[in-house]
Structure 1
Amino acid sequence: MIRRIVGVRNGRTLYSDALGELVAVDETKLTVATTKGTIVVPLSEVHRAKRVPPQRRPTAADVIALELAADAAWPAPTRGRLGDWLLRSADGWTGRANSALPIGDPDRPLEAAIDAIEAWYAQHGQPAMVNTPLPLAAPVGAALDARGWTARPLVLVQTAPLPPLTADAPGVSLTKTPGDDWLAIYEARKKSLPPAARHVLSAPPEVRFAGVYDGDTLIAAGRGAVVGEQNRWLHLGSIEVVPAYRRTGLARAVTAALANWGAELGATGAFLQVEERNTAAVALYGGLGFTTHHSYLTREQPLSGGRPDAAC
């Protein structure tokens, strides 16, 4: 916990507290990974700092394993590598499928790795994006801050043990491929559905598309993919309910049907990604037993590119 000096008002010193993980320190500053992102605190502003009892957190290996499972469950059609780092492109459809994943060793200095990311995405006609799992990729986040990169809203990666998640799910159908009505619901949500999107949705070997119908009309949908060989995970995503039918238990039923299917294939845990600000979805998944494993920020290169002017 760091208490920093942020100013003076009416002769009184003003303070602000930050709680997080200390990831770097030098002669002039501290770098701290918080749940909201990475902050850099000049030592001249530090009033007080103290250790607090650590919360139970997944190990770096656990975060890496789950991020790789998420990549397998949502696979971009165009891919590259920088050492262990992944480069992914899907015609700009969804941040996860169009961002670099900086886990492991990029086989070059950090600044050179970021330069290579920017060049790779420029070659593909896209602005560069980087998915930074926290606090694992906090040093990457600090380097991107220095370049003026922006951040999308914080995303929670949540997990739950699969057996307690299972339940009866009457009226939910599961298919191996998405129908036109299923795709139409998702296209309306995402505003587009390019060919790359169909690859992302359908490429995993073990995938199911859930649907609930009122007569001939699809009113709720979802997608599940089972990934991994030894540690089997069920990825849950694309849960969508037509507005007129929301708050009727359909999202829970779709989730349960996919969970039952995943358990039959040997998955012992489920995971999903949800924006922290989506309080309704966070509450729904919390009621199903999901808790936050880690979080990430999707960082975006400024449209002008390059580092910000030092005079600005």
Structure 2
Amino acid sequence: MDLPDPDVLDRLADRGWPALEREALGPWTLRAADGVTNRANSVLALGEDRDIREAVDVAECWYASRGLPAVFQLSPAAPPALAPELERRGYRRHSATDILAADRAGVVAAPAVLDAAGDIGIATHPSSGWLDTWWTVDGRGGDAERRTVERILGGGPALYAWAGRAEQPDAVARLALVGGWGGLYAVATLPSARRRGVARALTAALAREAAAHGVDRLWLQVVADNSAAIALYESLGFVSASRYEYWEEPPQAG
């Protein structure tokens, strides 16, 4: 497949996991969602701003007014002068993430261990069981944070897949529907169901179902040091397309 430019992938991922609050800062987007998840609480810095230092100052004030540290998501599409400016201010880099992309048809054609996964279901909204499984595996925080995530999930159309019993799934996954693209998010498997090919089967099932929603290409994000997950997705036909990392403001004295 022809790989899209990094800025295209950044915008797809932004739409696939939408922040609850957004504000334009020139070509950049300031995003916040009560501090829940990096993506929804960071500056999407695409394109040159009028003045890098001034723009960073504005962003820092915007996040400070919400009780949050300023965090910037930097990919190859970010302004070249931004990283040196953040480094000068003492920002900490973390959570390097690879973006992979694939043709949907290729993922559907890849072998999937469906029998090992048991029953698979797909819906257009997450059930309480789906949310329980995902939050058990990947949730960070309490009831307030979970409610924030549920609002993020409801910010755009998506498919929600599960394996096992619908009321208490062994594993879940979400495919955000953005134009002709599908973005894989929230892949989570309970410890008791791991090493059975369930994540692979859910990915293939979502790719198959996505055809009815006009999807012909897929993307996903995976932490760069998660070699097992990267190997899984590469075996399904995904290839590396871009990378980003977060730069976080240092704690303020006092």
Same fold (TM over 0.5): yes
Three-state SS of the structure 1 residue aligned to 2:44 is: coil
Three-state SS of the structure 1 residue aligned to 2:75 is: strand
8 Å Cα contact 1:153-1:277 kept in structure 2: no
Which residue identity does 1:220 align to in structure 2? Answer: A
- Distance, in Å, in 2 between the alignment partners of 1:76 and 1:135 is 20
Which residue identity does 2:23 align to in structure 1? Answer: G
Superposed CA deviations along residues 59-117 of structure 1, whole A, max 9, x for unmatched, are 7xx211221111111101111110110010111111011100010243x2001011111
* Aligned counterpart in structure 2 of residue 222 of structure 1, from 173, 184, 189: 173
Q: 2:12 aligns to what? A: 69
Three-state SS of the structure 2 residue aligned to 1:283 is: helix
* Aligned counterpart in structure 2 of residue 146 of structure 1, from 79, 88, 91: 88
- Determine whether 1:211 maps to 2:182: no
Three-state SS of the structure 2 residue aligned to 1:159 is: strand
Point out where structure 1 has 5 or more consecutive residues left out of the alignment: 1-56, 306-312
Point out where structure 2 has 5 or more consecutive residues left out of the alignment: none
8 Å Cα contact 2:159-2:206 kept in structure 1: yes
Q: 1:196 aligns to what? A: 148
* Aligned counterpart in structure 2 of residue 235 of structure 1, from 180, 183, 198: 183
Q: 2:200 aligns to what? A: 252
8 Å Cα contact 2:130-2:168 kept in structure 1: no
8 Å Cα contact 2:104-2:218 kept in structure 1: yes
8 Å Cα contact 2:129-2:167 kept in structure 1: no
Q: 1:165 aligns to what? A: 107
Task: Give the deviation of 1:249 after TM superposition.
Answer: 1.0
Return the structure number with greater strand share. Answer: 1
- Distance, in Å, in 2 between the alignment partners of 1:69 and 1:135 is 13
Superposed CA deviations along residues 173-195 of structure 1, whole A, max 9, x for unmatched, are 11122112211222222223333
Task: Give the deviation of 1:208 after TM superposition.
Answer: 1.2
Task: Give the deviation of 1:252 after TM superposition.
Answer: 0.7
Task: Give the deviation of 1:304 after TM superposition.
Answer: 1.8
- Distance, in Å, in 2 between the alignment partners of 1:286 and 1:227 is 22
Kindly report the root-mean-square deviation, in angstroms, between the aligned alpha carbons of the 2 structures. 2.0
Among all aligned residue pairs of Structure 1 and Structure 2, give the percentage whose two residues are the same amino acid. 33
8 Å Cα contact 1:160-1:269 kept in structure 2: yes
Return the structure number with greater helix share. Answer: 2
Superposed CA deviations along residues 130-189 of structure 1, whole A, max 9, x for unmatched, are 000136444211211111100113100111111111157572111122112211222222
Give the 5 Å matches for 1:72-83.
72-83=15-26
Q: 2:35 aligns to what? A: 92
Which residue identity does 2:173 align to in structure 1? Answer: G
Three-state SS of the structure 2 residue aligned to 1:165 is: helix
- Distance, in Å, in 1 between the alignment partners of 2:230 and 2:80 is 24
- Determine whether 1:277 maps to 2:229: no
- Determine whether 1:293 maps to 2:235: no
Name the count of aligned residue pairs. 242
- Between 1 and 2, higher relative CO (CA 8 Å, sep ≥ 6) is seen in 2
Relative to 1, partners in 2 of residues 1:74 and 1:67: Cα closer, same or farther, differing over 3 Å? same
- Distance, in Å, in 2 between the alignment partners of 1:154 and 1:226 is 24
- Distance, in Å, in 2 between the alignment partners of 1:58 and 1:270 is 11
Task: From the CA coordinates, give the structure whose radius of gyration is larger.
Answer: 1
- Distance, in Å, in 1 between the alignment partners of 2:208 and 2:163 is 16
Relative to 1, partners in 2 of residues 1:203 and 1:281: Cα closer, same or farther, differing over 3 Å? same
Relative to 1, partners in 2 of residues 1:165 and 1:215: Cα closer, same or farther, differing over 3 Å? closer
* Aligned counterpart in structure 1 of residue 124 of structure 2, from 159, 176, 179: 176
8 Å Cα contact 1:241-1:250 kept in structure 2: yes
**With structure 2 as the length reference, what TM-score do the two structures score?**
0.89
- Distance, in Å, in 2 between the alignment partners of 1:220 and 1:150 is 33
Three-state SS of the structure 2 residue aligned to 1:304 is: coil
Three-state SS of the structure 1 residue aligned to 2:177 is: strand
